[in-house]
Structure 1
Amino acid sequence: MRKLKKCLLVFISSLAIVLISYGVLFYFNFFQEFVTVKDNKVQWNNLPDDTFKSCYAPKLSFSSMPVTEISQTSINLLGNPVNNIKVLEKAQRYYIPLKSICTVLGFSLVKNNSEFILTKDNMNYILSNTDCIINGQSYSLRGNLIFYENKEYISISDIEYIFNLVADFDMNNKVISLLTPLSNSNKSENELTDGKVALIRLEDFSAESVLLSESGQMKFKIIGNYLNSQGIKYHIAWVPRYKSPSNNIDNDLLSNISIENVGFINTLDYLINHGGQVGLHGYSHQAGNNTSISGIELSHKYNSSEEATRSVLENAIDTASALNIPCTFFESPHYKATSKQKEVIKEYFQYLYEPNSILTFHKIQRENNNLFIPTPLGYVDNLDVSSIEKGLAHPTPGELASLFYHPYKELNFINFSKENFGVKVDYSSSSPLQQIVTSINRYNYRTIHVSDLKN
């Protein structure tokens, strides 16, 4: 009995030491300064520098992707068919002749050495193979120009941005309509320059189900347009390859060329052009016979070796490079990556958009030149945003105002119709995302991209 009491006393003492140590560590890790923005620059005492370089050079590149002619696909521009043209495809984007677009829209087109000068009324654009100067502002083309059979071709995504239009993909009839822009398509001029930092991530964005439909793609554009109009910077956690072995589905965007996938990449381009920053959320977000999004890809059980972990990362990076999708961060599916797997991820990405450990689930943590960025405000469950609103209204000292949201929940709050060569939008202000944005603005937060977190 005496021996048992002694063992019990040792156990209790050890437990007390562990709890006290945890409490001390928690206290000093937790109570720190808020991350803020002042004079349009992030203020924090431990920001990394801008010298990070990934260990990996992609094996695939956008420039080397093939160009093919697409048949039985037609283009309408503000109700007018664009006739007698070829439609090209490269890296899941459709292209049409630049001259045809300028003719229909009434722009003069003059070639000056390697550049094109586009003018109409007081609008003046200077277009090169990779960039466009729009009334003095520089824009990087999402698709780059293609020179084919002595003609210059421009992608639908770039036509949208340069000429302020929105593309609607009719999958059944293989018709792409370029329509007048969504309302409030320009960025808000009321963006805060000072305030506490907030981060928003749109979760599980992949080429499956609703995001392969005409309605779903337009609704996501409406979401991106709304966020941009409110001056909100946001993130898109992209899963590059969608797999559902039980349903015999493997949507590899590098090999499965279809109008649905072209519409998906066009939607992703639209979000990038309207305030979104893309990161990789695994490669397929599954393993074995599991289905993407619900499955786990990195953990003690899955792809646990260094070689397998690198394969997941490099496959995802290669896909992004081939499709010309810039990716800034990595987020392991369900935050299940082990500490060893995270050590590997850190070689490829400066920003790991997830907590590093249970001790740092509430704040940014720097390790060498890497940052771990958690989401302590959590996510929207059952359309209830009350806990997130409470966290924004009454923030715990030092807690990062960071959250993620599954945007599929937002779609039932959006309706639209096509009228007079445009899109009429009915977007309920009672939606979870609009409630969150209202709170962000009410309590004077400033949304940033993870790439803003550097000296």
Structure 2
Amino acid sequence: MISLVIKLVKYLIVFMFSISAAGCNVQKADGEKEVSSPIDINFMHKKISKIDYEKFSGLNMQKDNINLNIEGNKLALKLPIYIDKNRYYIPLTEIIDKLGGQLKEKKGVLNLKVFNEESKIDLNNNIFKDNNGKEIRLKKDIIKKEGIYYISFIDFSNMMNFHTRWNHDSKTIKAYVNKEKLAQKKYESKLETMGFLRLEDIATSNDPEDDEKCERLRVMARFLNDRSVPYHIAWVPRYKAPKINVDVDPSKENGFSIADFIYTLDYITYHGGQIGLHGYTHQRGSEYSLLGTEFGPDDPDVEDFRQRVEAAIKIAKDLDIPITFFETPHYAITAEQNKALEDYFTYIYHPFKDSRNNSVYSNQPLKSPNNNKSYYLTTPLDYVKQNGTNEMISRIRNLSPNTIASLFYHPGLEYRYINLTEEDGIPKFQYDENAPLKRIIDELEKRGYKMSFITDIR
């Protein structure tokens, strides 16, 4: 009898050791942990999924082999990740499973529990609600097939409040939960005079450095949102550099680098920004995008102008990017082109051109005398030059209280003030308190301007 008990005890010890070994995370060389099974995280307290992921028949989308890392854990997924219109769709069911969470649908509501937080997705109305009652409308519908749920990565990221880092070389997305706001103080205005901020020349070129640019742009967007400052993005939808055979139309091809950029545009719309079109290619002929002009007296053809405007609008529509305004490159436009533009846009973010092709710079938004419907917004403060932060601050201080405090800023000037780091496989960053944009916003607040969206103009 005693020998039988001893044998049973030995068997139990071996059995428990084997389970424990199976549940251990595999430590990777770069400090990441690979999570291959739901029992890897708190297996004694979480329900193990009974879904056989290998039997999933798949979605009618293009697959893409990317790496997903959440909170330092590299997820070894059995289900594929898909890409459509440069948005990634990830298997929500398996990911929640891997993170040791729970997922259950009841009466059209998908209940989630992950990271000890409970939330719900109203599948009928496509609305996510967190445990504090905050509601977010999802960018794309949840996809359900064979008991498995797929969600767009931008929606999952917003739900989880992720900061993400995209590595274009390894096709890896690292994400961690934002735990603090970038600005504790909300912007407060004292005047009725409006202020406007536009971030200029935003485009994707498939350049290897675009991953860091996109991340830094998202940090800026998050700061402005946390500070409660409305802002605008001047987006060039198609990037061309003919001399080196570069032509990037995000609506025509899928790719990790382009998906990072579209994710960034989506992120901006979820974080307090409005997007507008800044031309179609911002160039002509052999010119590089962002350097060339595109419209105006050198290229005055109105029919060609319409075709380019419509092509730009089509890209935005194909990609489901909401746009609110149009701005011609370098403000170059003729009176006839200006009149044609009013057929497409209510809000035009450049000076009005009168019948004699003179630019009308107004200290207030100007309603078009052509159709009495479109509004023109100028930038009396002009733009921030290289090493020109103090100059811009001086302009703001000396601006007439009756003149709109409208300016534009090239984000590249801000990038060196946002330091990207990594700790235990988790992406981190530091945003310098003396960064130009932060100083400019502080000065606008001191003067008391009412920071606004262009769509606030009436």
Q: TM-score when scaled to structure 2?
A: 0.79
Farther-moved stretch of structure 1 (111-120 vs 319-328): 111-120
Asked if 1:308 corresponds to 2:304, the answer is yes
**Residue 348 (structure 2) aligned to one of 343, 348, 352:** 352
Which gives a bigger RCO, structure 1 or 2 (Cα 8 Å, sep 6+)? Answer: 1
Q: Name the structure 1 match of 2:233.
A: 236
Farther-moved stretch of structure 1 (341-350 vs 144-153): 144-153
Farther-moved stretch of structure 1 (167-176 vs 280-289): 167-176
SS at match of 1:300: coil
Structure whose alpha-carbon radius of gyration is higher: 2
Contact 2:276 2:326 in 1 (8 A): yes
Q: Name the structure 2 match of 1:330.
A: 326
**Residue 181 (structure 1) aligned to one of 174, 178, 182:** 178
Asked if 1:101 corresponds to 2:101, the answer is no
- State how far apart, in whole Å, the 2-side matches of 1:300 and 1:80 are: 56
Asked if 1:227 corresponds to 2:224, the answer is yes
SS at match of 2:352: coil
Give matches, 1:136-215, under 5 Å. 136-147=133-144, 151-181=148-178, 183-184=180-181, 190-192=186-188, 194-195=190-191, 196-208=193-205, 213-215=210-212
One-letter amino acid of the counterpart of residue 171, structure 1? H
- State how far apart, in whole Å, the 2-side matches of 1:107 and 1:448 are: 41
Q: Name the structure 1 match of 2:81.
A: 87
Unmatched 5+ residue regions in structure 1?
1-65
One-letter amino acid of the counterpart of residue 337, structure 1? I
Farther-moved stretch of structure 1 (342-351 vs 142-151): 142-151
Farther-moved stretch of structure 1 (279-288 vs 226-235): 226-235
SS at match of 2:95: helix
- State how far apart, in whole Å, the 1-side matches of 2:188 and 2:208 are: 32
- State how far apart, in whole Å, the 2-side matches of 1:212 and 1:317 are: 27
Contact 1:166 1:182 in 2 (8 A): no
- State how far apart, in whole Å, the 2-side matches of 1:99 and 1:407 are: 37
Matched pairs, number: 387
Asked if 1:288 corresponds to 2:285, the answer is yes
Q: TM-score when scaled to structure 1?
A: 0.79
| Identical amino acids, percent of aligned pairs | 30
Give matches, 1:377-396, under 5 Å. 377-396=381-400
Contact 2:306 2:340 in 1 (8 A): yes
- State how far apart, in whole Å, the 1-side matches of 2:260 and 2:108 are: 30
One-letter amino acid of the counterpart of residue 298, structure 2? K
Structural RMSD (CA): 2.3
Q: Name the structure 1 match of 2:437.
A: 433
Q: Name the structure 1 match of 2:16.
A: none
Q: 1:233 to 1:106 in 2, by over 3 A?
A: farther
Q: Name the structure 1 match of 2:123.
A: 128
Farther-moved stretch of structure 1 (317-326 vs 131-140): 131-140
Unmatched 5+ residue regions in structure 2?
1-58, 354-358
SS at match of 1:417: strand
Q: 1:132 to 1:193 in 2, by over 3 A?
A: farther
- State how far apart, in whole Å, the 1-side matches of 2:373 and 2:272 are: 25
Asked if 1:400 corresponds to 2:400, the answer is no
Q: Name the structure 1 match of 2:105.
A: 111
**Residue 416 (structure 2) aligned to one of 412, 416, 429:** 412
- State how far apart, in whole Å, the 1-side matches of 2:127 and 2:304 are: 37
Contact 1:180 1:423 in 2 (8 A): no
One-letter amino acid of the counterpart of residue 97, structure 2? T
- What are the superposed Cα offsets for residues 255-274 of structure 1, whole Å, 9 maximum, x if unpaired? 22111111111112222222
- What are the superposed Cα offsets for residues 104-161 of structure 1, whole Å, 9 maximum, x if unpaired? 4454322234442334656332243743233433322233333456532111111111
